[in-house]
Amino acid sequence: MTSELGRRIARRIAVTGPITVAEFMTEALGHPTLGYYRRAMPIGAAGDFTTAPEISQMFGELVGAWIAERWLAIGRPNPVRLVELGPGRGTLMADLLRATRGVPDFHAALDLHLVDINTPLRAAQEAGLGDYRPTWHESLDSVPSGPLLLIANEFFDALPVRQFERTPRGWSERMVGLGSDGKTLTFALAPGLSPFARLLPEALREGGPTPGTVAEVSVAAVELANRIATRLVQDGGWSLIVDYGRDASAAGATLQAVRGHRPVDPLDRPGESDLTAHVDFAVLAAAARTCGAHVFGPVGQGAFLRRLGIERRATALKSRATGEQQAAIDAALARLIAPGQMGTLFRVLAIGDGKSAAPAGFSDEA
C-alpha cells in the first residue's frame, strides 16, 4: 500500500525517469498539499517524534539564556530579529521568552520571526506566541535585514540529501525509481559516473573508498549555512544550530524515516513519514567560515547544556517538586545530556559575526 503522494511520484518517474534522493525528499516533505511538513502534526506522543524542547522546559530556558547573552554581547541592538527555523509547536520559543523576561530591554527589542511551512503547526505557534506578534515565513530569505539571533533545533536534519555510491569506476548517484511492477518505489543506481559527485566533501571523494561505499551530501544545508553566515557577517548577530549528526565528514547512508515513533522504509507511503539524515557539521562549519563568519563547535549537546548550568537548573526545579515530579526531572535531564541518549549524538554549533566575545557553552573556560 502506498500514499496518494507516492502514486503521484510514481507517475512522475514513469514519465520523466528516476529522480534523485534529494528530489524525493523535497516532494515527500514539502509537496504543496501532500508533503509531510505541510500537513502533519508530527511532534509529541501522538505524532512521530519528540524534540528536546518537548522533553523539558530546561532546554528552552538555557537556550534563552544563551540568546539573551549574545544580544548583550553584540551591543543590545533594537530591533533585533529573533528567528527560529522550524519552531515546531512553539515550545522552545515560549520557554526562551519566559526565561528571559527579566533581561532589561530585551523583549522590547525583539522582532520575532518564525520560518515554517506547516499550517497546523503555525496555528499552535500562534496560540502560544501570539502575544509577541510573530511574523511567519516560508524561508529565511524573506526575514528583514538587521541584527540577527537565529535558532535551528532539529531543522538541518530534514533538508534533502543526495546519495552517491562508489563503484569500481567511480561515484554513481543513487536514485529513486520504479520496481518491476511499475508502481513500487525503489532505490537504484544511475548508469555511469555522476558529475555531481564533486559536491561530496573532498575527504569522502578522495582516498579510494571501497566499492559499495555510500556517501551523502546536502546541498540545501550548505546553501542555508552560507545564507545564515552571510547575514551575520553583514548585519551582526549569532546563530545556534542543534541537531544530530557528526563532527567530521564520513561515509555511510543515514537517510531514515520515522512514523509513530518507529523506523519505517523511507520509500513507504511518502508524505506520511518524517525523513531525516545526519547533519555533517564539518561541512556547515566550513561553509560558514568561507563567508567570513566565526564558528564555535560542534560540541555534544550534553557538554553544552552542562556548561550552561542545566544540572543546577534541575536541582532548583526539584527543590519545589513532588517526588513524582523530581523523578520526571531526573529522567528528562538524563535524556538531554546522557552519552547514551541525546548528550553525544546531538551536536551544537554556533556561528557568529566575530565582533563579540566567544559564546558560552563551547569550552569550560568560556
The pLDDT tens digits for 230-242 are 999 999 999 999 9
| % of the chain residues with pLDDT over 70 | 96
Report the distance separating Cα 287 and Cα 199, nearest Å.
13
Largest CA distance in the chain: 65
* Mean of pLDDT over the chain: 93
Q: How confident is the model at residue 182 (pLDDT cuts 50, 70, 90)?
A: confident
The pTM of this model reads 0.94
Query: Where is 330: in which H helix or E strand?
Result: helix 323-337
Please, what sign has the CA dihedral across residues 258, 263, 266, 270? negative
End-to-end CA distance of the chain, in Å?
Answer: 54
Residues 196/113, Cβ–Cβ less than 8 Å: no
Residues 146/80, Cβ–Cβ less than 8 Å: yes
Average pLDDT over every residue of 141-165: 97
Chain segment 67-80, per-residue pLDDT in tens:
999 999 999 999 99
Average pLDDT over every residue of 163-192: 94
Q: How confident is the model at residue 112 (pLDDT cuts 50, 70, 90)?
A: very high
Asked if residue 188 has pLDDT above 80, the reply is yes
Lowest mean pLDDT among 41-45, 83-87, 117-121, 164-168: 41-45
Angle at 353 between CA 347 and CA 358, to 5 degrees: 60
Report the C-alpha dihedral over residues 196, 202, 204, 207, rounded to 10 degrees. Answer: 120
Residue in 87, 96, 97 with CA at minimum distance from that of residue 42: 87
Average pLDDT over every residue of 286-302: 97
**8, amino acid identity:** R
Chain segment 323-342, per-residue pLDDT in tens:
999 999 999 999 999 998 99
Chain segment 8-22, per-residue pLDDT in tens:
999 999 999 999 999
Predicted local confidence at residue 366, as pLDDT: 47
Predicted local confidence at residue 162, as pLDDT: 98
Please give the domain boundaries of the chain with CATH numbers for all domains. 46-153+277-352 (3.40.50.150)
Report the distance separating Cα 257 and Cα 228, nearest Å.
27
Predicted local confidence at residue 45, as pLDDT: 53
Query: Where is 304: in which H helix or E strand?
Result: helix 301-307
User: Phi first, then psi: what are they for 252, rounded to 5°?
Assistant: 130, 145
Q: Measured in whole angstroms, how far is the alpha carbon of residue 206 from the centre of its chain?
A: 28
